[in-house]
Amino acid sequence: MSFLLSGSVRKVAHSFSISSFSSARTFITTSTRSGPAALRVYQNRLWDTIYHTAQWGAIPEGGVKRLTLTAEDNSVREWFRETTKKYGCTVKDDAMGNMFAVRPGQNNSLAPISIAGVEIFKVLHENKIDTFAPYAVVNWTNEEGLRFDIGMLGSGVWGGQVELQKAYDHQDADGKFFKDELQHIGFLGDVEESHKANPLSAHFELHIEQGPVLEDTKQAMITRANEIALEFGGLATVGVINSEPQSPGTVPGKTVLSIDLCHLDNPTLDKMFETAKQDFNKIAAESKVEVDVVEIWKSLGAKFHPD
């Protein structure tokens, strides 16, 4: 769930993102002497892959800044396509630019199972392992929602939670439309952007988020967002702070904040949001400024399958 603040003080975005997981029966079968117990991920090779792809979007002070639908994103997409093809995959792009690299299995009438990353393709390939169902790795478009501020946008359209046209019409901070940028890098695919037309049997995500460190600004709304998260046993992240007119000697006339609120329990998340709105309006009144709180995105929590 996400919301923005706007006005003389601008809006806070709170977004709630819990990945949905499904479970499936064991899908690895053997066609050679190498069995599942013999399989292993090679840590050094995995790190080599990470550092190799980090060249696209590397920043001088360390780290990577690779925004979706940019030249850097295009480069790593092309790497993903060519690399997965080496391991027997077919790669298809849907109308959101989501990339599905699929390695055939013994029963290709089944929808693929998706988990983790390219390293698993390598391990299966070098051990001559045939999976029962096809195996897939998916590159979702705008998953984190940094450039286009709806998180899990590509997967959200695929899952039926976001309308395709809404995604196409969404603009980044420079006013560029999502669809135009998707066409610009050449990844507007012809596969239907739907879990019904392009299904997965089960999908698992190994997920780590890292971003730049937010300095301690001691602003009341940022502090209150953290307090609300602690009170309800949830999480809060202030990911964007923009002020206008961006002049060192001028007191900003407008500030935009994005706040991401997270809680596994959906009713509790709603309470966090309502509390934030009430408290931010109170803080604004005390500071004699106006504030608007706009929810820009919401994703409901999902629990693991009991199996």
Q: Is the pLDDT of residue 94 over 90?
A: yes
What digits encode the pLDDT tens for the residues 142-170? 988 889 988 889 999 999 999 999 999 99
Q: What is the pLDDT of residue 251?
A: 67
pLDDT at 210: 47
Question: In whole angstroms, what is the distance from residue 290 CA to residue 293 CA?
Answer: 10
- The better pLDDT of the pair 304, 295 is held by 295
SS3 251: coil
What is the share, in percent, of the chain residues with pLDDT greater than 70?
A: 80
The chain-wide mean pLDDT, for the chain, equals: 81
Q: Contact 256/242 with Cβ under 8 angstroms?
A: yes
Contact 203, 114 (CB under 8 A): yes
Residue 170 has which token pair?
């969404």
Measuring CA to CA, which residue among 260, 251, 261 is closest to residue 287?
251
Structure tokens at 60: 């001088």
Label residue 184 by pLDDT band (50, 70, 90): very high
Q: What's 133's DSSP letter?
A: S
Residue 45 has pLDDT above 80, yes or no: yes
β-pairing, 113-115 with 135-139?
Answer: parallel
Give the per-residue pLDDT at 174: 93
pTM to 2 decimal places? 0.63
pLDDT band at 36 (very low <50, low <70, confident <90, very high): low
What is the CATH architecture of 28-204? Answer: 3-Layer(aba) Sandwich (3.40)
C-alpha 46/C-alpha 43 separation (Å) is 5
Q: Is 279 exposed, middle or buried (CB count within 10 Å of its CB: 0-12, 13-18, 19+)? A: middle
For domain 2-15+209-297, which CATH number applies: 3.30.70.360, 2.60.40.10, 1.20.1730.10, 1.25.40.10?
3.30.70.360
Q: Say whether pLDDT at 16 is over 50.
A: no
What value does the mean pLDDT take over residues 4-19?
Answer: 37
pLDDT of residue 150: 86
In the chain, at which residue ranges do the beta strands (DSSP E only) sit? 2-6, 28-29, 90-93, 99-103, 113-115, 130-131, 135-139, 202-204, 235-244, 254-262, 292-297
pLDDT at 136: 94
| Residue 55 pLDDT grade (very low, low, confident, very high; cuts 50, 70, 90) | very high
User: 130-131 and 235-244: which strand pairing?
Assistant: unpaired
pLDDT for the residue 255 = 82
Collapsed DSSP state (helix, strand, coil) of residue 244: strand
Range 26-45 average pLDDT: 57
What percent of the chain clears pLDDT 90, i.e. is strictly above it?
44
Domain ranges of the chain: 2-15+209-297, 28-204
For residues 260 and 273, what is the distance between their CA atoms, to the nearest angstrom? 10
Q: How much is the pLDDT for 206? A: 67
Give whole-number Cα distances, 180 to 151, 175, 187, 193, in Å: 19, 11, 10, 17
pLDDT reading at 34 higher than 70: no
**Banded model confidence at residue 9, pLDDT cuts 50, 70, 90:** very low
Specify the pLDDT at position 298. 82
pLDDT of residue 222: 79
